[in-house]
Amino acid sequence: MTLARKYQISLSDTPYYHCISRCVRRAFLCGKDSYTGKSYEHRKQWVADKLSQLARVFAIDVCSYAVMSNHFHGVLKINQAKADAWSMEEVLERWTQLFSGGTLVQRYKIGQCKTKAEINKVKELADVWRERLMDISWFMRCLNESIARQANAEDKCTGRFWEGRYKCQALLDEQALLACMAYVDLNPVRAGICDTLEASEFTSIAQRLTEFTTKLATPEKSKKKLRDLKPKFSSDIPLANFVAGSQTLQGIPYSLTDYFELVDWTGRAIRDDKRGHIPMSEPKILHKLGIGTETWLETVGNFTHHFHTYVGPEDKLKTICQQQQKKWLTGVQVCRRLFSGTNSLVT
């Protein structure tokens, strides 16, 4: 039986979640259809543009993403502190970028609401919308519904574009978070679409590499660097920051350059036909977490196959079972073997 999302998503357990949406019947409705020869590549840009808009409106941070031919991945973080800090006016402004808000709210925004009852009603609406603006279900609804409408309008048809709402996995510790991010960023490399991280279009790793390299370039070389490294697509999705040595609530608690090293090393190790060789020394992040290389590669290489609703150490899965009065959760045996349970994401 499918677990209701109100149980899957719990800030008391973790703010990090891996979300996947797949096209109906897994057809190539976002890429190039080899059967008909028709290209739908431009729809990937739709997903990137919508992600960019929603990441600026919601209190949801995008840690990593990958837009593939028939599905997309997103590792998302609920930023409750950000939502709590918004004033009522900012909540209204953000919500009305996506929805009309109704006549009452429109009147309030131009100063026409004078009575106490009207103002109290607007406050009630703002409280509801504040909760929705840090709700992953609403984030995915706004994303998927928009893309489905555009695609159906282009195809001059009606009906489902996505298989369902979306699949969601809770990432319960740092190892689960990093493994999932690496798995998402390596999707094009593992699928044989490209050979390098820089060339993996519509991924967060390509965007991070472009931004990082451009920032380091001298003024006279910055334009050339940007021209050489910028992917064919354009994306300015605001991504969650790597904040080495800081608390998890402030960002991803590792160095960005260490993450680049980890993903590059993992990609070389997983792909036998990939250029280069596996370095003798393991990446710094693995050493810090105390994770063996074989365990790491198995975790990343089989992430969606091994894990289901929850990803993390056995003790956290047992706690969730007790909270939900369940006798078992799918994937416990794999989590017991692959996760140590020493790195918490809840501070």
Q: pLDDT tens digits for 29-82?
A: 888 777 777 888 899 999 999 999 999 999 999 999 999 999 999 999 999 999
72, containing H or E segment: strand 71-78
Strand pairing class (310-311; 71-78): unpaired
Distance CA 295, CA 200 (A): 25
pTM of the predicted structure, to 2 decimals = 0.86
Distance CA 39, CA 300 (A): 30
Distance CA 113, CA 124 (A): 14
Amino acid letter for position 329: L
Superfamily (CATH H level) for 9-79+135-338: Transposase IS200-like (3.30.70.1290)
Return the percentage of the chain with pLDDT > 90, whole number.
Answer: 45
Distance CA 278, CA 275 (A): 10
Burial of 205 (C-beta count, 10 Å sphere; 0-12/13-18/19+): buried
Domains in the chain: boundaries: 9-79+135-338, 84-132
Query: Residue 163 is encoded by which pair of tokens?
Result: 């298989």
- In this structure, the number of other CB atoms found within 10 A of the CB of residue 28 comes to 18
Question: pLDDT tens digit string along 289-307?
Answer: 778 888 888 888 878 888 8
How much is the pLDDT for 18? 96
Please list, residue by residue across 66-100, b when 16 or more beta carbons sit within 10 angstroms of its beta carbon and e when fewer do: bbbbbbbbbbbbbbeeebeebebeebbebbbebee
Distance CA 287, CA 292 (A): 8
